[in-house]
Structures are given as C-alpha cells and as structure tokens.
Chain A
C-alpha cells in the first residue's frame, strides 16, 4: 500500500496579505526578517487591483518535475514524509529545477545564490501557526490513510449508494476502526438500503449484522450485547442508524438504552430526513427545507418547524460520551470514534455524524465534502464532544463564521427561501451557537 502525505493548504479567501507567514519562514529558515528569502511567497500585496492574494509554495508534488530535471541528483522525494528534499552538497546551482516547476515552488534565494524550497520544517511548518487569519492549514488527514489503509475493510465491495454519498465512506471507516469483533445493527434507512444487510442470504458486511425495526434498534442491540456478556464474549455492539430511526419512532428505545447506560456505540448518520424512502421530513429536517412532505408551492414554503437537536438531548442523558462529527473533518471524526469506542466499554456512547445527501438535498455529486464543510464553517452545525467528567467543548470552534447563505445556496432544497426565511435560519444559527456556548461554560460540573 502506498503512502499519503500531509500538505500545507492555502485559502485565499481568508488571506489579507499581512505577510506574517513569510516573516515566520524567513526567521525559521534564514535567521533573518528578509521576507524576500521566505520559501512561502504571498503575491498581490501591491498593485493587484482586486486585492486577492496568491501563493508560491512547493506543493511537494507526487511526481515532481524539479526532481526529474535536476542533473545533479540534488533533489529527491522522501518516500516517508513526501517532502522533496534538497541536498546542498550535490547542487551545482544550475537553476534547472526552477525551469521544471510550474508554481515557483523552488526558486533562487538571492541571499545565498542557491535555490531554496519549503521542507515543511520537518512536519511542523512555521508559517502555519504564524497566519493570524487561518488562511494556512497543515492538513494531516493523510495520517489516517497511512494508519488504517492496511486494516481490513469489513464492508462488502460495491455498495449500492447514491452517487456522491459519503455514507459508504463513513461505514467503511467506522467498521475498519471498530474491528472484526463487532455485532452491527442497521435499522431501516440508507445504510441497509446500501446493502449492509446483504442480499440472497449473504450479508453485506464481514461481521454479523442484523436489521431491527425502526422502533427497537437500541433495545435489540442491548439484549444481544448482554447475551454475549453473559456467555463471556467481549464484542463491540454497534448501531448505525439514520436520523429518522433515531430521533422519531426509534427515540424511545434509544433514550431507554442511554438512560440504562447500555454498553454500546450508537452512531447516527444524520441526513436530515427519510431519504431512502423518498425524502420525507424527519424531526431533524431543518426549518425551510424542501422535502417531499414539506413541499414548496403556493401554500407552503418548506418545513415550518425548526430541527430537533438530538445530540444535545443525548447530552441530557449524561451518556458516557456524546459527540457530533462530520466527514469533512476526518481526523476529528476518528478522534471521536476512538473515544466513543473506549466509552462504550463501560457505558453508552453516542456519535452524531452530519451527512449531506446529494440526492435529497439536491447538490452536485462531487460537492458532498464541500457542503459538509460549509455547514461547519457557517456554524449551521457545530462540532463538539461531551463527557460527564469534562463537560461539553467545541472541537472545531468557528469564531468567525461565514454567513449561513453560503451554506444554503450550496444546495437546491433551500432555493425557494424568502429573505424572511433566510433571516429566521441565520437567527437560529446564532441562537444555537449561543446555546451550546453556554453549555460549554456551565456543563463542567460533572
């Protein structure tokens, strides 16, 4: 299995051209404040009419041209870190590498007369923390791939999901992490719809899987877990349910299992409706959204009630662990999976994953991650975790949220919204944020 690498990402929309990254780099790499010698260069700081900022920085290409054109063997891509390293003792200063690179990732440092390039400061780039706007990020998600890539995929190949749906990703990663000693419950919804329960007498997973009713998932799983315990086998009880199955008719058994502290991990894949049966509304469907049962016409303009906040309700069960997560933030998700698995050994762990639905929400199938990310960046959803000991805290706080319209306009289900409806939603976002913030302040009592 190959390796994936970390990378420095630049968001030009957040950059204000202050140049702090360049100063940090120059200091780290040359011991001077001469930003001309920084290996990260921000452009458009003077002269550009439209005040957007651009970047020249080594991309640490997978297939680097600078390396292929170097006549001296002075450049080499490190197979472990992915960083393209420069060996001063071999370099002959011919500058051919600067001819190879299309992005000026390697360039002449007039201070030394040699070429210079970013080496990611051994995986700890000085420029990233120096950026006051968060325009630079060190993306280390590749570590997940490197770590779990070789683990066994416990879902069958070729699941029948909608194009662009992230639930397959979620199922495969979750089962990989949870491992083979698992009993899985998947009540009616997209997850069995995709084939997890299988066809023609074979399951869609390589672990035992069963298909409870919408109403009794948590109860059945609790019984199975107890039986295994009774016979002395340590299995992981895992449910992957939709928001309909969890927040509507399934809620009674879910609440009961949480209240009794049943030892299981209950994951909710929240796509904000009954999507596999034709996109009916659920109690998690947000205000204003079109669904087939909250239609848009002369009389109605989408859903008229606000969504129920199921994860906060679960906090009020004082579960061993409660968290919200998003597939746009996989490291955060993995972190929470680890904690949820650990918590489920002694009590009830609840993980609520926001899962944009390409088909039901009506957005192009290549934009799932983008929509998921926008939900977080606008504070439409918030990523946090809770334990009775530490209380509730944000794991991806968004202090400077984008306007909620950035999220709403990314999909068709909100296309009809009137300005008043948008205003309602924006107000709700602020109210929800304040509400959760207050909980972070006061819930530390334990």
Chain B
C-alpha cells in the first residue's frame, strides 16, 4: 500500500452548511470513525448567506465563522482547507485533490455547493466584474463599494438585490438590470416584487427589468454595457449575480449521474456506491413535484446534510427526505418579505390574497383542493416560516380554520403547531 495515500472512513468535500450538518449527524451515531473534511476554501467554515453583511460592514469578517479549530479537534475531524476535490474515482473509492494528493474513503459526501453562474454575454471576459459567493469575493466587493459612484448589478435575485441595497446605502448610483420582467422572480410574485421595486426606487436606485445585456466592453469608467434595445450604461463597479451553478466539475468520468445537479435518492445517495451528495450541488426530490429539482437554499442544505450524514453513519433513526420546500426570507430597507412553498396554484386549489394599503401588509396563501397549505407569501406581514413549512410538510388540512388562518396566519399557525407538539 502506498503510504502517502491518506485513508479515512468519512470523507466530506466542502465545509459549509451541508457539510457541517453531516458531521453533526455522523457524530451523533459514530463517535469515533475518522472524518476528513477537504474544502476549496482557505478559511474556517462560514456561510455564503452572511456575505452581504460582510459587504455592508455589519458583520466583522473575523466573527462570521461557524466553527473553530477546537470544534474539529473535539470531534476528531481532520480539516483540510485549500484542498478542493479535483477528480473522483468512485470505482476505487478514492479522490484526487487540487494539491495533487489522493484520499481513499469508505464513504464520501459531496457537499461542494454552488458558484456564481456567469452568463455567456459577448465581451464578458474583457471587463472586470465582481461576484459574491466566497469571503474573498465579499472582501473585494466591500473595498470596491466604498469607491464606487456608478454601479450596475446584473440580476435581480436576492444576492443582487442585497448587494444593490448595500451600494445604494454606500452612496453610489445604482442600476439593476434584470432579464425577466420583474424583480426577485422565483421568490416573490408581481405584487410583492412591485413593493420591493418601489422601495428601491424611493431610495434612488434605477431598475431596468425586461432588459438583456448583449455586449460588454472595457471603458474609461470600467465597463460599458449595451442592452438589447441599444441603451448603453457605464459602470465603475459591475456585479454579476445572475444565478448559481453547482460545483461538480470533478465528476467527469466518475460515472456519478448528474443533470442540473448531482442526482440523489431520498437518502441523498448518488448513483455510485459509497457516494452521497447534499446541499446546493445536489438535485433531490422536490416536495411538490416529486421530480428531482434544485432547491439551493440554506435550510434545505442543512436538512439534506443531516439525511446524508445519518445514511453514511448507518443511523437507524434515519427517515427519508421529505422533499425540498422553497423557503426565503428577505429584508429590504427595513421591511421584510417571506415566501414559503410553491407559488403555483394546484389544479382545483385556491389562492387567497389580501393587501392593506395603509400598512403595506400583503399576504397571499395558496391551498390545495384537500385544504392543505401549499404556499404562503407575505410582505411586511410577519408569520413564522418554520411553522408554515411544517404545515405544508405535514399536510395539515386547514379547511376548518381557513378564515382565521388567512386573517392571522401567525397566531393560527402557532396554535396548530403547539397542538401537534403535545
């Protein structure tokens, strides 16, 4: 046996939410089995979700870490930063790392998350632009924001919107360019999006929805953008936030099946023996569709990480993954929006909305024909996302409570969950 090759029982690639939750789950059942974490990042674990607050200065970079060295020591985990997975040889139970070394595993978890998807706009390699996914990205962007007078954010998803708000608050003139005809599509409906748009306009941001960038080129300011309709924009700071793509380049030739993401079953196992995947890189069953979907959100990464960890450790308490439910919370200019579940009204189902001009409270709830909640969305209307997700996952029939529920989802949701707890 080659003595240079490291052997480990549990090999985990990635060091973010899915990975950390898998470590917890493994250690609940197997206190001793050696765990090795190999990650591309050079820092201790942190969350991509906290990065907008690093950019804004609210979070001190030194205080965002989710675990310390002591955690890994206590849990007998060998933590190897700057050693990303380069190639997987599932047939041999081994991986190659970026530094050229190899590791042989008994069980492998792929929790490598996602990276920004860069749109194939002609000229994009000729300009410099920012993305936001890693701490290094955030530190760079934080520095650039302080200098920026004229910024363009490409993409009006939550990452782009967060950054745009930071830029506005830092005093830059900001333009948000979005291909689809509303902001935050996929998270919020048109009514909610209009409220968000209004808040941004009130703060002085320019919003160009339904706009496609067709060319990018260097300019004196930094970059020049040309839109489909011929309009041009100048940017001294360009942020590309047009979505994410899973990190799975190392799969090539490994035989592990993948589509949009790494395909997994209800125990997060891939099509290869001894290999699991969880989090933003995985494509797992959707709760509403039954087909395999991407649900790249933090809560789902933790749930999937836990299922994978339990499966890897052989924990008999493991229950099948219930399927991903979309869940998003979003703060903008002191207001908050929340979306839970699916925005599609199922056949025979019903949608209820209410809007209060005075308070700006907006609520939309969607019910299936059997009376179960399938989606609920609010702006300035606080209800507990966790409670709502449970009502959906447990398929609780809300028919007898429908009216009270729509009037006060917060109180009625809490009542129901309190009852189920006893």
Contacts and interface: CB of A to CB of B under 8 A. Distances in A.
Contacts of A104: 384, 386-387, 410, 413-414, 417
B102 interface: no
Interface string B380-422: 0010111101100000000000001000101111110111011
Interface in A98-112: 98-104, 107-108, 110
A120 to B, nearest CB: 18
B336 interface: yes
B53 interface: yes
A102 B390 contact: yes
Contact of A94 (B66, B329, B384): B329
Interface in A12-65: 12, 41, 43-44, 47-48, 54-56, 63, 65
Interface stretch (A69-77, A288-296, A330-338, A432-440): A69-77
A98 B53 contact: no
B414 A94 contact: no
Contacts of A96: 49, 298-299, 329
B196 to A, nearest CB: 16
Interface string B46-78: 011110010000110001111000000000000
B230 interface: no
A92 interface: yes
A113 interface: yes
Interface of A is mostly: loop
B64 A73 contact: yes
B73 to A, nearest CB: 16
A56 B21 contact: no
Interface of B is mostly: helix
A101 B384 contact: yes
A48 B415 CA distance: 9
Contact of B329 (A48, A55, A68, A99): A99
Contact of B331 (A68, A89, A93): A93
A92 B413 CA distance: 25
Contact of A95 (B48, B338, B389, B410): B338
Interface-centre pick from B24, B59, B413 (highest chain A CB count, 10 A): B59
A72 B20 CA distance: 14
Q: How large is the interface on A (under 10, 10 to 19, 20 to 34, 35 or more residues)?
A: 20 to 34
B414 A54 contact: yes
B336 A47 contact: no
A43 B416 CA distance: 10
B133 to A, nearest CB: 13
Contact of A47 (B299, B384, B404): B404
Contacts of A108: 336, 382
Given A54-B414, A92-B59, A93-B331, A98 B419 contact: no
Nearest to B53: A92
A94 B385 CA distance: 12
Contacts of B331: 93-95
A415 interface: no
Given A73-B65, A90-B63, A100-B386, A68 B302 contact: yes
Given A43-B411, A99-B385, A71 B47 contact: yes
Contact of A98 (B48, B63, B329, B334): B329
Nearest to A43: B415
Interface of B: 17, 20-21, 24, 28, 47-50, 53, 58-59, 63-66, 298-299, 302, 327, 329, 331, 334, 336, 338, 340, 382, 384-387, 389-390, 404, 408, 410-415, 417-419, 421-422
Given A99-B389, A101-B386, 9 more contacts: A43-B418, A55-B418, A65-B302, A71-B49, A94-B329, A102-B389, A103-B387, A107-B382, A108-B336
29 contacts: A12-B422, A54-B415, A54-B418, A56-B414, A63-B24, A63-B28, A65-B302, A68-B302, A71-B48, A71-B50, A71-B298, A72-B47, A72-B50, A73-B66, A90-B59, A92-B58, A92-B59, A93-B331, A96-B329, A98-B329, A98-B384, A99-B299, A100-B302, A102-B389, A103-B414, A103-B417, A107-B382, A110-B382, A113-B334
